[in-house]
Every structure is written in structure tokens, then in C-alpha cells.
Structure 1
Amino acid sequence: TLLATTSIAAISLYAMLATVYKSAQVFHARRTTISTTPAKDIETNPVPSVDVIVPCFNEDPIVLSECLASLAEQDYAGKLRIYVVDDGSKNRDAVVAQRAAYADDERFNFTILPKNVGKRKAQIAAITQSSGDLILNVDSDTTIAPDVVSKLAHKMRDPAVGAAMGQMKASNQADTWLTRLIDMEYWLACNEERAAQARFGAVMCCCGPCAMYRRSAMLSLLDQYETQLYRGKPSDFGEDRHLTILMLSAGFRTEYVPSAIAATVVPDTMGVYLRQQLRWARSTFRDTLLALPVLPGLDRYLTLDAIGQNVGLL
């Protein structure tokens, strides 16, 4: 019948596209990314100052403690400042000890917002009072290895790079079968998808838990970042993908640094996981439209990648 023939054709086309896409992804992921700036030019630049921005909302005190401890232990030769923004949390009393632990550390700055304003505005509240050359966004449920700031900042010493992300892992990987699968999913997303995109200097989403941005570029994009709408209302999801696309639209490269390891808490129940995936899918569909004017100026692989990602979510 016509329906059966159409179904077979659609499935065959999907299988062919998936095969071509994944084969190209694996091929490019294995290749070495080449910097657009000679190494000697990068090395002679002064060590940039870095501001770490940590928005938090109703975060578990133990998880927040681990996050802040990992930031305090950064081995970085340049100036480092850490801005922790409480976005109107209801458990402020529970995290008093976490703030007190770093009260005498001049690198730390704590801001308490009177009401919940959302992740973007919380980030911007810190960005506008900071002054570092580079901005590292870190989620409050994420810990980073001691060399993450150094490795990401080194990548950012190429002035053509506007953003860079590290490799994501699940900090609670051993908890359930679901967290183990998500950890595997993260490995594939980083070491195949992002690695392949980075071959062309165009990582399409620098993951929110640990991503570094060039301040001069970010300041010029803050209005667009803050005022993005979804169905006529201020957007409250997909901050990382949106900001990455804005960087690409502004003409900057976006990179992946696999040796910069960050571990984040992932969903351990199916309901929470599915809601997260729904948010991410909406973000992918929406911001792919924003990326359409950028794609013609990038390698053709990135167009295939955009098609593959969106078709794969259907």
C-alpha cells in the first residue's frame, strides 16, 4: 500500500541520514582541532583574569559545598574571582555555613537577590559587578577539576575564540542505572558531537555547567541574551545554547577542551530526566532557527550536524 511504501521510504531515509551523520561525526571527532592563532602569539599574551559566576537556587548545602571547594582549589596563575549569586533561594538559612566558610577568602563574593529572577538575570547580576577578562559560568551542582580554569583560559588566549567548554561527566554516575546511562550519554555528546563540531571551531552548545566566555564579547551580547523570548514570555531554559549561538553569530569560534573535566549532578529518576530532555529539545529546535544565518559561513558538516540533531529529536 501507499502508506507502507511511504513508511519504508521514510525509515530508510532516516537510517541513511543517521549513518552518514554518525560516520562523519566520528571521523571529525578523531581529528585535531587547529588554532587560528600561531602558538607564539598566544603564549606572549598576558595571563587573563577570570571571574567565575555561580548562580544557585535552593541548592543542596552539601552539593554547594563541593562546588565551592572545587573552585577554591583551582590552580591558576592569573587573578581569579568567584561570584556566588543566591537567586532568591528558600533555603538560605541552610547554606549559611557554606558562605561563612569563604568569608575570609578575598576571591569570593556572595550576592543574595531578594527574589527569584531566573538563571540569566542572576548571572548578569554577577557579570555586571565583575571585571575579569574571561567569565566562567559554573552551575552550583557542578565540581571542576583543579586545572579547569587554567586549561579553558589557555584556549581562550586565542582572540578568535569567544567561548570554550570542558568535558562533562556525571558526578553521581554510580547512583542508579539511569545515571550510568546519562554518564555514557555525556561522554558521547562531548567526545563525539562536541569534538566533531570543535574541528571547525563551532561547538553549537557550550554546556551550561562549565563554559568560559570572553567578557568583551559577552558584554556586547548581554541584551540579546537577557531578553530572549519563548512564546512571548522571557525564556527560562536553554541559556547555554542561546549564548553559544550568539557568540558564533558575532563571528567568534567556540571550542571544546576535553582535558578540562567537570562533573555535574544528573537526574536519577526517569520523570526528572524526561522533563530535562524536553527542555533541551525545545532549546535545540528554537536556537537552530537562530543559527540558520550562521550555518552558511561554517563548514558544511555543521549543516549536516544541525539536521542530524533536530531530526534525531523528532
Structure 2
Amino acid sequence: MSWAYLAGFQLLLNGYKLISLGVCGSLIIIHLFLQTVFALFECSTTKDNVLHRSSAKSVAIIIPAYQEDPLYLTQCLNSVKNIEYPSHELRIIMVIDGNSKEDQYMMDMFKEVFCKEDIGTYVWEGNYHSRNFNRVIQNKEEDNNKRPYRDPVNLFYGESCIGNPERLDVESLIRNKHFVCIMQKRGGKREVMYTAFKAVGNLVDYIQVCDSDTKLDSRATMELVKVLDSKENYGAVGGEVRVLNVTDSFVSFISSLCYWITFNIERACQSYFDCVSCISGPLGMYRNNVLQQLLEPWYNQRFLGIRCTFGDDRHLTNRVLSLGYSTK
């Protein structure tokens, strides 16, 4: 690597200036050029193959939330409320990572935004993998000794309790309501995503993911559905993500440039080859039947024997690709 930086091609040399291009810089420029070329191919292909209006497939929009800024959460929920999609085919599910008083404001905001809808809410003392819901039952055979025993539920990561009554309540609520907000025991983003995916089951055709600070375009859901409908082998599709506060600071401006390059060049190039490496959490959609196949392996991800708690979106995308599906 040191040689790659030091060995350079002399471009300009005089008594005061030396401009050179190292091997590493050359490779970066070539890489960027090739990405741009294939991104342009992808754009031209998309324009040539104009996607027709798709049939209305059932969609669940999943919003994982954790102590979100009220302003951003309000923008997110209002944008979801204004999604242009048949209401009878759309379900909105927000799962809050936390069930304390400090997290209650997010559920209150959900109720306020969707006040005209038939809302279902639930405060779950545990979650799918918590171990604190083992019920103590009196052993009648040893009643004299008053020795209690516990239900045979000893959960490890990746195992979910089938007989947990709270789990059954959550699943029943999601089956019967189109607008649902769940508060559950804190366990991280992957835990709340697992709750939503698992509870939805086979209710819908597609599952859309949306971060709690994302402001969706009103046509976002329909456009994502069109892509998945266009080819059976498409397992997941991601949308373009932009920075909202571009003009707030120089850092936010640079961030917006990075986002633009990532989505309009890098992932557009990957999309040309039907293998986008990461369906981003702010805007993505998966085939539900594919998602249910890989749910447990995705949740159980480990590295060197240690459970992974980050990289949820990229690992989920890799799992889709590992099943032989394409990503756009």
C-alpha cells in the first residue's frame, strides 16, 4: 500500500510545483469512471423499460423507532399518512424500542397523526426473545412444600416463545388493525425489526422498511411495488435517499454529496448487474415470502461467536442475495 501511494506518474514539474498521480489514485479514478458508465447504462435501461402501473399488492410499512426527535418523527408519520396507495392494501406498523415513560411520546405522536384511523396500540413488557415472561405456576403435586416451578421456557438468541400470551396479543392486533404501534422491551433495532417481520407473518405480499427520521415521497411505495412486480426474481428493491437539511452546515452539504454519489452512481451501477449490496433502511422493500425464509438466520448473525447488533440492512440484503434473488 505504501508503494502504491509513493509510486506516481509525473504530470507536471517545475521549480516550484510537482503534481503527480499515484497508482492508488489512478485505480480510484478508473473505478469511479466504470461505476459512472454502468450507472448511465442502468438509467437508460430504466427509461427504455418504463414500468407499467402494477396491481395493488398488499404492503406493510415497518417503522422502527428509538427516542426519535419529535420533529423528524412527525414528518415521517405525516409522509407515511400521505402515501398514494390503496388504503385497504396498506398496513402501517411502528415498533418502538423501549417501553418506559420516556418512550411514550412516540406512541402518543402516532395516535395524534393517525387519529382518524382505527388504531391499535400495545405496550409489551417483553419482546420475542426476552426471558422475563416465564410465568411462575404453583406445582399442585408439591403444594405442601409451596415449591413453585417455571414454564419450560429458556430462551436463547434466535428462539422465540410460541406460548407467550403477549406475543399472541401483538400478532392478533396486527392481523386485525391496519395502523398499529407497539412499545416493547428495549433490545436494539434488529429486535424491533424482528418483531414487526415476525408478527406480520404471511399477511402481506411486500414489506417496506422506513426509518423514523425518513420523509417519504408520496409515490415511493407505488414505485417500489412496480419494480418488484416487474420481475419475479427481484427479492428486494431500494429507493434513492437524500439528506433533508442540506443547507444547515458544510458537513450536511458534504453528507448530501456522499449520499448522491452512493445512490446515483455506486448503487445504480450495482443495480445494472442486479446485485445492490445494501437495501438501505430509510427506503427499501422486500418480498415477504423471501423475508420470512431468512428471518431467523438474519437475526442470529454472529461474528467470531459474538452476536452482531449492527449492519442489519446490509446483512438482510446479503441474505436475500444468498437465496438466489436479485436486488435493485
- Asked if these proteins are the same fold (TM beyond 0.5), I'd say yes
Q: What runs of 5+ residues in structure 2 fail to find an aligned partner?
A: 9-20, 119-177
Work out whether 1:208 is the aligned partner of 2:278: no
Output the amino acid matched with 2:219: D
User: What SS class does the counterpart of residue 286 from structure 2 fall into?
Assistant: strand
| Aligned counterpart for 1:14 among listed residues 18, 24, 37 | 24
Query: How far does residue 7 in structure 1 lie from its aligned partner after superposition?
Result: 4.9
- Return the letter of the residue paired with 2:314: R
Which protein has the bigger helix share? 1
Letter of the 1:122 partner, please give it.
Answer: V
Structure 2 residue matching 1:219: 3-state secondary structure: helix
Q: Quick check: 4-13 or 215-224, which moved more?
A: 4-13
- SS of the residue 2:237 aligns to: strand
Match of 2:295, SS state, is helix
Residue of structure 1 aligned with 2:240, choices 148, 160, 167: 167
Equivalent position of 1:73 in the other structure? 82
* 1:154 Cα offset (Å): 0.6
Partner of 1:267: none
Whole-Å separation in 2 of the counterparts to 1:7 and 1:143:
42
Give the CA deviation at 1:180: 1.0
**One-letter amino acid matched to 2:104:** D
When residues 15 and 98 of structure 1 are mapped into structure 2, their CA distance, relative to the original with a 3 A threshold, is same
**1:180 to 2:253 alignment:** yes
| Cα contact 1:58–1:89 (8 A) shared by 2 | no
Distance in 2, Cα, partners of 1:196 & 1:14: 21
Cα 1:57–1:16, aligned 2, differ >3 Å: closer, same or farther? same
Are 2:237 and 2:279, in contact at CA under 8 Å, matched by a contact in 1? yes
Match of 2:156 in 1: none
Say yes or no: does 1:105 pair with 2:117.
yes
Alignment partner of 1:156 is 2:228: yes
Q: Distance in 2 between matches of 1:193 and 1:248?
A: 18
Q: CA deviation at 1:233?
A: 2.5
**Retained in 2: the 8 A contact 1:57–1:89?**
no
Equivalent residue pairs, number: 248
Aligned to 1:198: 271
AA aligned to 1:190 is F
Q: Given the alignment, which residue of 67, 81, 85 partners 1:58? A: 67
Asked if the contact 1:152–1:212 (Cα under 8 Å) also holds between the matched residues in 2, the reply is yes
Native 8 Å contact 1:203 1:254 kept in 2: yes
Distance change >3 Å, CA 104–CA 232, structure 1 → 2: farther
Contact 2:54–2:225 (8 Å) recurs in 1: no
Aligned-pair Cα RMSD in Å: 2.4
Instruction: Identify unmatched segments of 5+ residues in structure 1.
Output: 256-314
* Equivalent runs, 1:281-296 vs 2, <5 Å: none
Q: Distance in 1 between matches of 2:107 and 2:262?
A: 36
Call closer, same or farther: CA 1:155–1:6 in 2, change over 3 Å. closer
> TM-score, normalization: structure 1?
0.73
Does structure 1 conserve the Cα–Cα contact (< 8 Å) formed by 2:233 and 2:326? Answer: yes
- TM-score, normalised by the number of residues in structure 2: 0.70
How far is the alpha carbon of 1:13 from its aligned partner? Answer: 2.9
Where 2:227 maps in the other structure, the secondary structure is: helix
- Paired residues of 2:4 and 2:24 also in contact (CA < 8 A): no
Q: 1:144 aligns with which of 216, 241, 263?
A: 216
Q: 1:184 to 1:100 in 2, by over 3 A?
A: same
Any conservation in 2 of the 1:26–1:196 contact (CA below 8 Å)?
yes
Three-state SS of the structure 2 residue aligned to 1:169 is: coil
Asked if structure 1 preserves the Cα contact closer than 8 Å seen for 2:97 and 2:186, the reply is yes
**Structure 1 residue identity aligned to 2:218:** P
Tell me the secondary structure at the aligned position of residue 41 of structure 2.
coil
1:94 offset after TM fit, Å? 2.6
Give yes or no for contact 2:5–2:23 (8 Å, CA) kept in 1.
Answer: no
Q: Which amino acid aligns with 2:92?
A: I
Moved more, 238-247 or 226-235: 226-235
Shift in alpha-carbon separation, 1:5–1:237, aligned structure 2, 3 A? closer
Q: Aligned partners of 2:272, 2:258: CA distance in 1, in Å?
A: 20
Bigger Rg, structure 1 or 2: 2
Partner of 1:121: 191
1:234 to 297, 307, 318: 307
Name 1:296's counterpart in structure 2.
Answer: none
User: CA separation in 1, counterparts of 2:75 and 2:307?
Assistant: 31
Tell me the distance in 1 between the aligned counterparts of 2:5 and 2:106: 55
| Alignment match, 2:35 | 25
Kindly state the Cα deviation for residue 229 of structure 1 after the two structures are TM-superposed. 1.6
- By how many angstroms is 1:18 displaced? 1.0
Which residue identity is paired with 1:133?
D
* CA positional deviation for 1:162: 0.6
Amino acid at match of 2:226: H
Q: Aligned-pair distance for 1:43?
A: 5.9
1:13-45 alpha-carbon deviations (Å, 9 max, x no partner): 31232122111001001013658xx98xx8697
